[in-house]
Amino acid sequence: MKKILLISNRVMHYRSRIYNKFFDMFKELGYEFHVASNDFQKVDFPIRYIRHDAPFSTRNYTRLIAEIKPDVCINFLHLKDKIIIPLTFYCRWKKIPMIYWNHGINIKTPDAKLKNSIFHFIHTISSAIILYSPAQLKYLSKRNQKKTFIAKNTLDFSDVDRKALRTPDEVKAAYGIKEKRVILYISRILPYKGLDILLEQFKDCTNTALVVVGGGISEQQQAMIDSNPHYYYLGEKYGKDVDEIYQIGDVFSTPGHIGLALNQAMFWGIPVVVLNRIHAPEIIYLKQGENGFIVDSEAELKSKILEICNDTELHSRMSAAARHTYETEMQIENMFQGFIDAIRFVAEPYR
């Protein structure tokens, strides 16, 4: 059986669900899927992919590659992971195709010329490139675009057992949520995500709950939540716990920046409203006026969220559209196809 080795920075819990699914799909095609990292986040489900824990160093990972003898390596590293260039050269020396998978550049600093030149060098010495969306092709040279494949980023929910979850009413009762309508913020709590915007905009909307889930809350944010009886901070949740919370949402918003939480909201049929700012590639799934809104001001953000909450027909239509987007565009098989296309490309005579 041929072997695929993914070398990754921290493997977040949601990535492990993706990699489990990839393991199954690769196996059907005659590949054994390995994942190596210096940091795996704890998960509450069995790991099926073949896991390798090793601190980052060129020596550790060249040894690991020599032991596993992969047919293809996939590099999911950042520039700060200093093994990225040495490992790419090592694989070239050993005639092991190395596929670069990421955004193309650091999309938070798109004008950083020095960093971009290093990224472009990595693109050139890689056997192929996998990007999150076609919108990122602009960060690559035309020459390197010819060996680039698109794997639209998504999440895998095939193991979610809806029947095993508490009902929305039971979930609300468990957390003491009394309001009929619920605005969800589920994400790491970082300044650019915009939790403060929601806390400020909805403090007078006493008939609508603002439910916050995620790590990193500040003392000031916690104090504001504590002082508003329709605000709820539920802590950091994963797995079944967070799935249950998604069930109670009417609108989802991380105003300043949204990523894969958009995919999870769409899976649960929750319309999404965000500000017109720089978002992760998953923003391509948000269809203006259909499954959510991208708005230009904080006042408009509040207005659109409340409009969805209070207009039953609009909410029903947008909820159905969100679910349709997930079912037609966000399936894990669509993401996997980008990977298998890249792997088949590099499996031709070494480039």
Q: Each residue of 24-52: pLDDT tens digit?
A: 999 999 999 999 999 999 998 899 999 99
Of 264, 194, 192, 211, the residue nearest 18 (C-alpha): 264
Residues 131-152 have pLDDT tens digits of: 999 999 999 999 999 999 999 9
For residue 206 the two structure tokens come to: 């006493």
The helix/strand/coil state of 103 is: coil
Q: What is the mean pLDDT of residues 52-62?
A: 97
Mean pLDDT of 243-260: 97
Average of per-residue pLDDT values in the chain = 95
**pTM, whole model, 2 decimals?**
0.89
CA distance 313 to 320: 11
pLDDT reading at 285 higher than 70:
yes
| Residue 248 pLDDT grade (very low, low, confident, very high; cuts 50, 70, 90) | very high
At 350 the pLDDT is: 43
pLDDT(351) > 50: no
Among candidate residues 168, 310, 134, 340, the one with its CA nearest the CA of residue 245: 168
Identify the burial level of 178 via C-beta atoms within 10 angstroms of its C-beta, where 0-12 means exposed, 13-18 middle and 19 or more buried: exposed
Q: Is the dihedral of CA 213, 216, 219, 224 positive or negative?
A: negative
Domains for the chain: give ranges and CATH numbers: 2-154+332-346 (3.40.50.2000), 162-329 (3.40.50.2000)
Lowest-confidence segment of 137-141, 158-162, 193-197, 280-284 by average pLDDT: 158-162
| Helices 113-125, 84-93: crossing angle, 10 deg rounding | 20
| Phi and psi torsions of 19, nearest 5° | -70, -30
